[in-house]
Chains A and B, each alone.
Chain A
C-alpha cells in the first residue's frame, strides 16, 4: 500500500537530510502514527506521500504507484485516491460545511446530483448532521476539523493522511476526532497520522513509527508514545 524504500530527502541548502535512508512498509488498512520531535522529518513524509516534493534518493510507492517518478500531469488523478487533513483545517471561509465538502467533489468533475446524495451522508457520518449550512466561523474547532475529515473522506480514498489533525484542539475534542479517524480506518482506509500528542498515541495503541533526525528509531505494533 505505502512503501518508502531507502528514502533520503535533502532540501536545497540544508546541512543534513530531513529524511536519511528511511525504510517503511505500511499494509492496506493499517493505522500508523509517525511521532517524533519537531523538525524530525515527519511532515516531509506527508509531503512525499502527497507528491508535493520528490525524494532525493530512494523510492516512494503509494497505491502501487511510484510517486517520485510520476509525471506531473498524473498528479491530480493520483491525489484523488488520497484524503488529507491538516492542523489548520484549510476550509474555505466563504462556503458552508456542505459547500466545502461539495466543492471537493465538483472540482474533480462529479455532478451536483452526486454531491446532493453523498455530501449529507458523509456529514452525517462525521457527526455534523443538522449543521450542513453553517459557515466555518459558526463552527467550533472540532466541528471544523470534522468538516475537513468529511471532505477528505467523501471521495472514499484508499489512504487518509493526517498531519497533526488534533494540534489545534483540546484533549476531549481531540479524542472525538480520533474516534472518527478510527471509524474511517475500520472501513478499510489506510490512515497515516503525524502527531506529537502523546495522550492520543497511548490511548489508541496502534502501530507507532518514531522518527528522529530523519531516521526511523522505533517501529512498534500497538506502541505507545514512549
Chain B
C-alpha cells in the first residue's frame, strides 16, 4: 500500500507538471549527452595517443652533399644511441616511391618532381617519444644533417584540438547540468506546493520524514533517468549514424569507439543523473517543506 502510494504520487507529480517535466528531461538529456561524449573522448584520446606514439617517427633529413663517411658516422651513432628504439634509412628512390603514392592524386606534381630533388633520411623511432628535443639537440649540429623533423609536433596539434573539443563539451555539460538542477528545483517546488495539504497532514500525524520526501525525490530521479535514456540514445545513434557512418574512413586517424565504451556510459550517466536529481530534490525539500 505504501509502495503503491509512493509510486502513484511520483507518477502523478510528473504528469501534473508535464511541460516542466519535459523541459527537465530535455536539458538533463543534453547535459548527459555532452557529459557522456566528453567521457568517451577522454577514453579515446588515450588510445589515439598510444596509436600515434607507436607510429610517430623523427625524420633526420640529410644534406644533398653528404659524404659516405658522414652518413656512416650518423648510422653508427644512431645504432648505439639508447634513446633510439629502431631506425631505418630511406634512400632517394624510396622517398620518391613514397612521394608518388602520397601524391597519386596530383600527377602533375609527381611529374614535376624527380628523385634527385628529394632528400635522403634516417627514420627514427624513439624509446620515449616525449624526449624529442634531446635527440634534436644532439644531432642538429652533426655534419651532413640538414633538418630534423618530429611528426609529434603535428600530433601535438591534433591533441590540442581534441582537448579543446573535450573541454568545450565538458563545459557545456556542466552549464546544462546547472540548468537542469534549477529545473529540478522548480519542479520540486511546484510539486511541494501542490501537495502542501498532504504534507501538512503527514507532518501532523507523524509520518516519517523519508516517507514524506520519497515521492518528490523519486519524481526527480525518474525524470533524470529518462534523461539518461535520451542521452544514451543520442550517443548510440551518434556511433551508428556518424562515427561508424560518414566518419568510418577516418578510423586510421581516429581510433574507432567500441560498443563497450558506449554501453559503459549508461550506468555512469544514470549514476550521475540519480545523484544530481536526488541531492537537488532533497535540498529543495529542505528549503520548501515546513519543519
Contact = CB atoms under 8 A, between A and B. Distances in A.
Interface of A: 50, 52, 72-73, 75-80, 82, 84, 90, 92-93, 103-104, 106-109, 111-112, 151, 155
B161 interface: no
A79 B290 CA distance: 15
Contacts of B1: 106, 111-112
B200 interface: yes
Given A80-B205, A108-B205, A109-B208, 10 more contacts: A73-B209, A75-B206, A79-B203, A79-B205, A90-B197, A104-B201, A106-B2, A107-B2, A151-B205, A155-B205
Nearest to A155: B205
Main secondary structure of the interface of B (DSSP, over half): helix
A79 B206 contact: yes
Interface of B: 1-2, 5, 197-198, 200-209, 211-212, 291
Nearest to B200: A90
Contacts of B209: 73, 76
A46 B43 CA distance: 61
Contact of A104 (B205, B211, B291): B205
Contacts of A93: 197
B206 A109 contact: no
Nearest to A105: B205
A80 B206 contact: yes
Nearest to B1: A112
Contact of B291 (A52, A77, A90, A107): A52
B204 A90 contact: yes
B201 A92 contact: yes
Given A106-B1, A106-B2, A111-B1, A76 B201 contact: no
